[in-house]
Amino acid sequence: MDELKEFERAALLLPPVIRQAALDMPELHKARAEELRLRAGQAPTVVSAGQEICFRPEHRVTPAELQLALSIATHASTHTYSDSIKMGYVTSGFGCRLGLCGTAICEGDSIKSIRRLSSICIRIPREKRGCATEVFKRITTNAFASTLIISPPGAGKTTLLRELIRLLSDNGKRVALVDERSEIGGAFEGLPRFDVGAKTDILNAAPKAQGIYLVLRSMSPQIIAFDEITSPEDIFAADAAANCGVELLASAHAYGIEDLLERPLYQQLLSRGIFKHLVVIEARDGKRSYRVESLK
């Protein structure tokens, strides 16, 4: 199963004693795993089907083990990842993103680095061919129009986004992917870990708003794709791209349409009329369903 292979790749980032315990978990937990979490002084856990489960209850994670996991992910060269570490994450060569917590080293109001790690969250990316087939048909009935994907955290926005990018790209669209945390394409040294289509150009590690402006100027895209609208700057950049005739494929955190409409940031987004389709992801008992709504 591909789900098990993705889990095993993520488990390679764990210190050896914890890694083996993770690999010995029941296959159902591994196939549904979304995250592996390490916290100093606590037992290691896996988030599977929305539940956080201890997989080696007798073990207590040490600060040295947290530092070892970061060293494995960065190939013992953490200084080359300093720009992303100060943003609180590192993306490994396997396409897994490690979220980091610890002691922030600040200059003024800016975080310059994170040291003395206290927690690591390893996100397990999934590449699910076929998961977007019906959604793709719905949003391209006439021609693709800007589409926003919404779901709660961990419900599969990035997985669906990745597959839609591939389908649009392989069906002839020039897609510019602004991959701020390098987890959609999972590019490492320029080569994408995941298949995002033959006509997709990837901009890694750029803040979304700045990245949208950059690809708009440099790549003449027909579609710009990016994950997680989180700030007014993202909205302004999306609006600028739409006004240049570029379609957008993006995502946002929300528990449903009602929740989306109650948030001031997304009220501002929807009032601009940028997006024509809304894809709502719902997860129940580890299974996901997709609902397409019109925003015209």
> Can you read off the two tokens belonging to residue 140?
């391209």
Amino acid 205: pLDDT: 84
pLDDT in tens, 167-199: 999 999 999 999 998 889 988 777 888 899 999
Which pLDDT does position 148 carry in this prediction? 97
Give the chain's mean pLDDT.
92
Burial class (CB within 10 angstroms; exposed 0-12, middle 13-18, buried 19+) of 76: exposed
CATH number of the CATH domain containing 154: 3.40.50.300
Residue 81 within a domain: yes
Q: Using a pLDDT cut of 70, give the percent of the chain over it.
A: 98
The conformation of residue 250, written as its DSSP 8-state character, comes to E
- Are 145 and 190 found together in one domain? yes
- Indicate if the pLDDT at residue 40 is higher than 70: yes
- The string of DSSP codes covering 35-104 is EEEEETTS--EEEETTEEEESSTT----HHHHHHHHHHHTTT-GGGGHHHHTTTEEE-TTS-EEEEEEEE
When divided into structural domains, the chain yields a total of 2
**Which residues lie across from 104 on neighbouring strands?**
114
pLDDT band at 273 (very low <50, low <70, confident <90, very high): very high
Query: For 210-256, what is each residue's pLDDT tens digit?
Result: 999 999 999 999 999 999 999 999 999 999 999 999 999 999 999 88
Residue 116 has pLDDT above 80, yes or no: yes
The whole-number pLDDT of residue 81 equals 86
Q: What is the helix (H) or strand (E) element at residue 122, kind and residue range?
A: strand 110-123
pLDDT of residue 228: 93
Are 18 and 84 within one domain? yes
**Which of 90, 166, 150 minimizes the C-alpha distance to 278?**
150
The Cβ-side half-sphere exposure at 42, using a 13 Å CA radius, reads 14
pLDDT given for residue 286 in this prediction? 65
Res 36 pLDDT > 50: yes
The burial class, CB within 10 Å (0-12 / 13-18 / 19+), for 152 is middle
145 and 47 both lie in a single domain: no
Model pLDDT for residues 48-63, shown as the tens digit of each residue: 877 899 999 999 999 9
Highest mean pLDDT, choosing among 37-41, 73-77, 178-182: 37-41
Enter the tokens of residue 277: 């389709």
Q: Does one domain contain both 196 and 138?
A: yes
Q: Write out pLDDT tens, residues 118-147.
A: 999 999 988 888 999 999 999 999 899 999
Query: Where in the sequence is the domain holding 230, given as residue range(s)?
Result: 133-294
d(CA 6, CA 25): 14
Do 46 and 73 belong together in one domain? yes
Domain boundary among 55, 90, 123: 123
64 assigned to some structural domain? yes
